[in-house]
Structure 1
Amino acid sequence: MTGEPAVRLAVVGPGTIGRRHAEEIAACPLAELAAVAGPAPLADALADEHGAARYRSLAELLERDRPDGVVLATPNRLHVEGGLACVAAGVPVLVEKPLADTVEAATRLVEAAETAGVPLLVGHHRRHSPVMARAREVVIGGALGRVVAVVGTALFAKPDDYFDVGGGWRRQAGGGPVLLNLVHEVDGLRWLVGDVVRVHATVSNAVRGLPVEDTAALVLTFAGGALGTFLVSDAAASPRSWEQTSGEDASYPSHPDEDCYHLAGTAGSLSVPTMRLRRFSGPPSWWEPFETATLDVGRRDPLAAQVEHFAAVVRGEVEPVCGGRDGLATLRVLEAVVESARTGRPVDLSRTTPGRPTLGVRPPT
């Protein structure tokens, strides 16, 4: 505790993730939930639950009750509009992922925030995970040597009623695991291994037969030369996803014996989130046994840590862990995934240009 008054934060968008943000703000000793903005009855119910003021829109909130910071949890298509309004009002803003639905729009928001000097954060909350932070320390510290290979999975089963929310928009292009779930994985791998410079992707809707994909496979090339593969599916009866293995979100059943990432280098390998580190005692050779250690890491909900971090950014005490440029770089990779899946060809990130259509991949027919 700093002894300073709690930072007054507002949540715009009273949906599922907005509610989670409101809960964490209300529980944070460094912040208070000053207001909720959004349509009735959800916004009214959430505001009443936490004793916060309520407004029908972000514009009304900024005009009548300027908070210290805004968490923007609106639909993706409204992120840039809302972010620009906060920047124009000089209010620091944490925008839920993805930063925007096009790279061009995201670039506009990032540049506006930089010009105005207003903090812009992106809600890639896993960067606040103690597990991810420890894994990053291992990679940066050189325990793995040079990273040469990355294997990742996000395999889980979404129930049928998940696709009925909001009039069924999740059944259409843009409502599948590539944009809704893979964005977290791409940002996490970028944070652990470095920038992605090349993507080759393919998608399938073979399970549900909807206009949106249910499964995608990727081959990734990282700037340091490492190669990676990643499988994501929301129709897979498997626990190998971050939510089901990390134990950081109590709403999901925990499978602590499973991993969803494996990083292999010239000197050792690390499985995440079990944090099993394997290294050779002498020169690397498949004829030699490994020395194995399980790294001790505390578990904490990253959303709670993200709220504390946002409060510290608002106070000017720290720089954003995941700022606008980070969110933009991750979005560029997602755009490349969509383009590669559409054309069937690899995409070189150094040759991509902004301005493509709104993100949303359709499986081949």
Structure 2
Amino acid sequence: MKASKLRAGLIGVGAMGRNHARVLGALDGVDLVGVVDPAGDPGGAARGVPVVPTVSDLLALGVDYAVVACPTGLHETVGLELAEAGVHALIEKPLADTVEGARRLVEAFESRGLVAGVGHIERFNPALQSLRSRLEAGELGDVFQVVTRRQGPFPHRIADVGVVKDLATHDIDLTSWVTGQDYLSVSAHTVSKSGRVHEDMVAVVAQLSQGAMANHLVNWLSPLKERSTVVTGDKGTFVADTLTADLTFYANGMVDTEWEALRAFRGVSEGDMIRFAIPKREPLLVEHERFRDAVEGKDAGIVTLRQGLRTVEVSAAVLDSASQGRTIRIAADGV
């Protein structure tokens, strides 16, 4: 006899919550049984699933796990309520808006033996998954530098945090994940050009634990939408475009050109360029499948709360560096 389906709830049906509702509504082995949003569901994202105003109303419906897609400032309160009720949770990134809040969430879920993860969706992007596997296999040799660019128009859905916590947390998490290196220090500069309280542009230079350098350029001010990760090492350069999930490798050439003028112009010798054919499944669907499997007791490779906490710690160090005008060292157990 087939086991009964997991009962899932969703908290928040804003821009990201609507996507979660779509995936949860069709996810094998899962029934979406309730949605929480005090503003209701004017867009119809719940598709007939009961919409209730509070988390306690959702808990009354009976859920095995919940997806937290409300504003970042509410993650801690909502997460603690779920943990207290013994409900597993997938919490959208960033885990919390403060380091202290993130630590409280880690303690709440770990102390109760609950499954909890953070929605760092870039880990499930096909291009970055392929990149990580290739780096682990040594295809690049020593990693020298990771450069990310994440820019686009201002998202009016975001009001409670700036570009560091909303967008740069993607790059912090993915950089540490694909390289297997932790952040040791950050130096950052931020500006606010849109008249909001929070920053809307950041430039970061970071040192990683095995000697690599990281650079992050993130903003909400560009009409060009760009999501790129460039990793350079002693065997060449990988370029991942996470908008299109394409991965390209530019090899350092093994044959020097005999044309002296051209060699002087080009500098480093050029080699083959390879664009990899990668199966392209939707990252959000893969993220949900992994979390469902983790709730069922399988080794699914989700983003843990402790990993999410580390990203919050690094993002806090970025903001501290920008406000203090100095490089911030990051301790192994946080800033």
User: What is the TM-score when the length of structure 1 is the normalising length?
Assistant: 0.82
- Of the three residues 235, 242, 250, the one matched with 2:221 is 235
Q: Which runs of 5+ in 1 are unaligned?
A: 242-259, 355-365
SS class of match (1:350): coil
Letter in 1 for 2:56: A
Letter in 1 for 2:168: L
> Is the CA contact 1:30–1:308 (under 8 Å) kept in the aligned structure 2?
no
> Is the CA contact 2:120–2:170 (under 8 Å) kept in the aligned structure 1?
yes
- CA shift, 1:3, in A, is 4.6
| Cα distance in 2 between the residues matched to 1:28 and 1:287 | 48
Question: Is 1:54–2:26 an aligned residue pair?
Answer: no
> Is the CA contact 2:94–2:308 (under 8 Å) kept in the aligned structure 1?
yes
> Is the CA contact 2:187–2:318 (under 8 Å) kept in the aligned structure 1?
yes
1:8-42 residue CA offsets vs partner (Å, 9 max, x unmatched)? 21101122211110111112223221111121432
| Residue 130 (structure 1) aligns with | 126
| Cα distance in 2 between the residues matched to 1:331 and 1:237 | 28
SS class of match (1:142): coil
> Is the CA contact 1:150–1:264 (under 8 Å) kept in the aligned structure 2?
yes
1:191-224 residue CA offsets vs partner (Å, 9 max, x unmatched)? 112211110000112x434333221111011111
SS class of match (2:331): helix
| Residue 188 (structure 1) aligns with | 174
Stretch moving more, 125-134 or 330-339: 125-134
> Is the CA contact 2:73–2:96 (under 8 Å) kept in the aligned structure 1?
yes
| Residue 61 (structure 2) aligns with | 65
1:114-144 residue CA offsets vs partner (Å, 9 max, x unmatched)? 1110011101112122211101001111111
- CA shift, 1:319, in A, is 4.2
Letter in 2 for 1:312: D
| Residue 190 (structure 2) aligns with | 203
| Residue 16 (structure 1) aligns with | 15
| Residue 272 (structure 1) aligns with | 240
SS class of match (2:277): coil
| Residue 147 (structure 1) aligns with | 143
> Is the CA contact 1:147–1:264 (under 8 Å) kept in the aligned structure 2?
yes
| Cα distance in 1 between the residues matched to 2:132 and 2:268 | 28
Stretch moving more, 341-350 or 267-276: 267-276
Question: Structure 1 residues 317, 43: closer, same or farther in 2, change over 3 A?
Answer: farther
- Alignment identity in percent? 29
Letter in 1 for 2:248: R
SS class of match (1:17): helix
- Of the three residues 219, 239, 246, the one matched with 2:205 is 219
Question: Structure 1 residues 53, 341: closer, same or farther in 2, change over 3 A?
Answer: same
Question: Is 1:303–2:289 an aligned residue pair?
Answer: no
TM superposition outliers: structure 1 runs of 4+ over 4 Å: 281-287, 351-354
- CA shift, 1:5, in A, is 3.2
User: What is the TM-score when the length of structure 2 is the normalising length?
Assistant: 0.89
| Cα distance in 2 between the residues matched to 1:287 and 1:60 | 62
1:82-106 residue CA offsets vs partner (Å, 9 max, x unmatched)? 1122222221100111111111111
| Residue 259 (structure 2) aligns with | none
| Cα distance in 1 between the residues matched to 2:102 and 2:168 | 18
- Of the three residues 295, 313, 319, the one matched with 2:294 is 313
Aligned length: 321
| Cα distance in 2 between the residues matched to 1:130 and 1:287 | 29
- CA shift, 1:305, in A, is 1.1
- CA shift, 1:281, in A, is 6.0
Question: Structure 1 residues 353, 150: closer, same or farther in 2, change over 3 A?
Answer: closer
SS class of match (1:275): strand
SS class of match (1:99): coil
Structure 2 matches for 1:114-125, cutoff 5 A? 114-125=110-121
Question: Structure 1 residues 45, 282: closer, same or farther in 2, change over 3 A?
Answer: closer
| Cα distance in 2 between the residues matched to 1:293 and 1:335 | 38
Letter in 2 for 1:24: V
| Residue 87 (structure 2) aligns with | 91
